[in-house]
């Protein structure tokens, strides 16, 4: 009888008799049986393929002490509080800040990172309370040379970390650090002398770390920099807060070894590439695991969402690229449409006639798949009953018709959505009476002139009386409750004759109107 011997390895893996003392880094297998595959195993460590940052201590890892409170930035080697408003420093060697904020994990590089406010809002609002960090560079940035700053920024939820602009400022003299003296509301560095704004990037995120970059060309040599919020004042109901880590500042040309993506419009057509060189062996990875047969400088047909890296190797050794996060937004749209009762709407393959929410997979103008959520609203036929009043000199607009005669009317009108409605209108004249004569002779009958009306007359706002030649003989006081004319002018009796009345009235539609009339004064 023959026996076949299998060795049972950790994780239930069956080994045919071969064993390895270390991981093979390009076969998507756990070769040494430690449960870690390819780049996730320390056996496959390669130095990072990235420019050397001229910002010292770029990931806040080197410490002179462990922070005991948020404002202990002095514990981070080479960094200074650039402004009187104090940036926070967190390091897992002691004070992590995890118990204060729900910080997105993992931290991009190591255990150190900073946090800063862009304005303080609460019982007191101070949009100029902006927190910055700064340091002197390991070597100056040269004038008229293009540089690139890559940085990782962390976001809380969108309410606590709304979209913003992050800026880099520079100075020709390290003695300009810090700036703003003891003024908590000094704002950005350029509010004082010696600082220039080099560039900025718009950033956004939601409970995550994301990488952004700023390209700029200084006009003068720069020896020190400051990082933090841009200069614009922003007003929010909460105090905006963000985190920064892994700051790489170098000449722009040195970044060309990074992974780049083509400009295809659809995620399914995306390709990644890295600069091609002779005598280089390439291997692509997703989430640290080798992608089979992905051995060129270009990676076509990405297997899915994830963290992509490429390992390059030659006779001098290996290097590993920085990660490219492939997390394309779902091509999703939410739209609202309305149709008239009795009409229909073609939505993809569906013919819709009733209210509701519908979902279809459609194609965008660039022929990419898009999931569309449609909320359909049916505009039902509406009958409206209206009552209105006008003055004889006015017209009432009902649809396209203008009406100036009291009566009952029926009109079919079309709304902005193109649906018909029926309006029943009862139109009448306002009940405002301007007397044409009065006799201020003290007999108690018709002794004063005043505008009269029914309940639709709210008030008479002003009353002016003129002679036929335009001379004013009476003007009501704004404070007087009743606007009446007793037939006098400047304390003397006005002459018998014809006068012109001008009155401003407020009607029950809350509109003011000016009315005129002739009145005869009889003695």
Q: What is the DSSP string of 308-329?
A: EEEEEEETTEEEEEPPEEE-PP
Q: Going by C-beta distance under 8 Å and a sequence separation of 6 or more, which residues neighbour residue 440?
A: 447, 448, 449, 486, 487, 488, 493, 521, 523
Cα–Cα distance measured from residue 487 to residue 450, given in angstroms and rounded to the nearest whole number: 11
Nearest to 340, CA basis, from 329, 359, 353, 350: 353
DSSP 339: E
Rounded to 5 degrees, what angle do the CA atoms 109, 114, 116 make? 145
Residues 191 and 124 in one domain: yes
Specify whether 105 is located in the same domain as 216: yes
Q: 56 to each of 42, 77, 174, 354, how far by Cα in Å?
A: 26, 8, 14, 64
The β-bridge partners of 426 are 387, 408
249 within some domain? yes
Please indicate, yes or no, whether residues 113 and 235 belong to a single structural domain of this protein: yes
Beta-bridged to residue 484, according to DSSP, are: 450
**Residue 173 counted as domain residue:** yes
User: Does residue 33 lie in a domain region?
Assistant: no
Q: How many domains, the chain?
A: 4
User: 425 and 465 in one domain?
Assistant: no
Per-residue pLDDT of the chain (523 residues; tens, 9 = 90+): 232 222 233 333 334 445 567 899 999 999 999 999 999 999 999 988 878 899 999 999 999 998 888 888 999 999 999 999 999 999 877 666 666 678 888 999 888 999 999 998 876 778 889 999 999 999 999 999 999 999 999 999 999 999 999 999 999 999 999 999 889 989 999 999 999 999 999 999 999 999 999 999 999 999 999 999 999 887 788 889 999 999 999 999 878 777 888 866 566 778 999 888 788 899 999 999 999 999 999 999 888 889 999 999 887 788 899 899 887 766 677 889 988 888 899 988 889 999 999 988 776 655 566 778 899 998 888 888 999 999 999 999 887 889 999 999 998 888 777 788 889 999 999 999 999 999 999 898 999 999 999 999 999 999 999 999 999 999 998 777 779 999 999 889 999 999 999 999 999 999 999 999 999 999 8
Give a yes or no: residue 63 inside a domain.
no
Domain that holds residue 375: 332-379
* DSSP notation for 168-197: EEEES-GGG-S-STT-TT--SGGGSTT-EE
Residues 456 and 405 in one domain: no
- The reply to whether 440 falls in a domain is yes
Does the pTM of the predicted model rise above 0.75? Answer: no
* 50 Cβ contact partners less than 8 Å away, ≥ 6 residues apart: 248, 257, 258, 321, 322
Does residue 509 contact residue 387 with C-beta atoms inside 8 Å?
A: no
Q: CA neighbours within 13 Å on the CB side: how many for 477?
A: 4
Residues 441, 504: one domain?
A: yes
Do both 102 and 242 map to the same domain?
yes
């Amino acid at each position: 009888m023959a026996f076949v011997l299998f060795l049972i390895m950790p994780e239930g893996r069956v080994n045919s008799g071969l064993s390895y003392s270390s991981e093979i880094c390009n076969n998507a297998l756990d070769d040494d049986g430690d449960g870690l595959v390819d780049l996730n195993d320390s056996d496959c460590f390669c130095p990072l393929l990235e420019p050397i940052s001229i910002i010292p201590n770029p990931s806040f890892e080197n410490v002179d002490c462990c922070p005991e409170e948020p404002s202990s930035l002095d514990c981070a080697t080479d960094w200074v509080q650039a402004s009187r408003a104090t940036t926070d420093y967190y390091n897992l060697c002691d004070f992590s800040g995890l118990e204060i904020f729900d910080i997105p994990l993992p931290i991009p590089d190591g255990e150190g990172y900073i946090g800063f406010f862009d304005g303080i809002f609460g019982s007191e609002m101070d949009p100029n309370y902006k927190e910055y960090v700064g340091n002197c560079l390991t070597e100056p940035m040269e004038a008229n040379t293009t540089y690139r700053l890559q940085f990782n920024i962390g976001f809380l939820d969108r309410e606590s970390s709304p979209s913003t602009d992050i800026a880099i400022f520079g100075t020709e003299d390290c003695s300009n650090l810090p700036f703003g003296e003891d003024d908590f509301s000094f704002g950005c560095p350029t509010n004082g002398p010696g600082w220039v704004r080099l560039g900025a990037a718009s950033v956004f995120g939601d409970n995550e770390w994301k990488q952004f970059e700023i390209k700029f060309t200084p006009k003068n040599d720069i020896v020190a920099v400051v990082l933090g919020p841009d200069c614009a004042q922003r007003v929010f109901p909460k105090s905006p807060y963000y985190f920064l880590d892994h700051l790489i500042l170098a000449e722009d040309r040195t970044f060309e070894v990074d992974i780049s993506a083509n400009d295809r419009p659809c995620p399914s057509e995306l390709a990644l590439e890295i600069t091609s060189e002779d005598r280089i062996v390439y291997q692509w990875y997703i989430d640290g695991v080798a992608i089979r047969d992905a051995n060129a400088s270009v990676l076509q047909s990405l297997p899915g969402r994830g963290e992509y890296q490429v390992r390059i190797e030659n006779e001098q050794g290996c290097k590993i690229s920085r990660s490219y996060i492939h997390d394309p937004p779902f091509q999703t749209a939410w739209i609202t449409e309305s149709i008239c009762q009795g009409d229909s709407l073609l939505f993809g393959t569906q013919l819709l006639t009733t209210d509701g929410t519908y979902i279809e997979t459609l194609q965008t103008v660039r022929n990419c798949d898009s999931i569309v959520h449609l909320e359909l609203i049916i505009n039902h036929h509406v009958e409206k009953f209206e009552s209105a009043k006008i003055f004889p000199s006015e017209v009432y607009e009902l649809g396209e018709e203008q009406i100036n005669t009291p009566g009952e009317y029926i009109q079919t009108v079309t709304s902005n959505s193109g649906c018909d409605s029926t309006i029943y209108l009862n139109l009448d004249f306002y009940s405002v009476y301007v007397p044409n004569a009065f006799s201020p002779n003290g007999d108690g009958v018709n002794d004063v002139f005043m505008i009269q009306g029914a309940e639709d007359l709210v008030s008479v706002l002003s009353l002016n009386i003129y002679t036929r030649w335009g001379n004013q003989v009476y003007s009501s006081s704004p404070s007087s409750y009743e606007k009446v004319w007793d037939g006098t002018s400047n304390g003397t009796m006005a002459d018998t004759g014809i006068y012109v009345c001008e009155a401003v009235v407020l009607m029950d539609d809350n509109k003011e109107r000016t009315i005129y009339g002739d009145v005869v004064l009889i003695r």
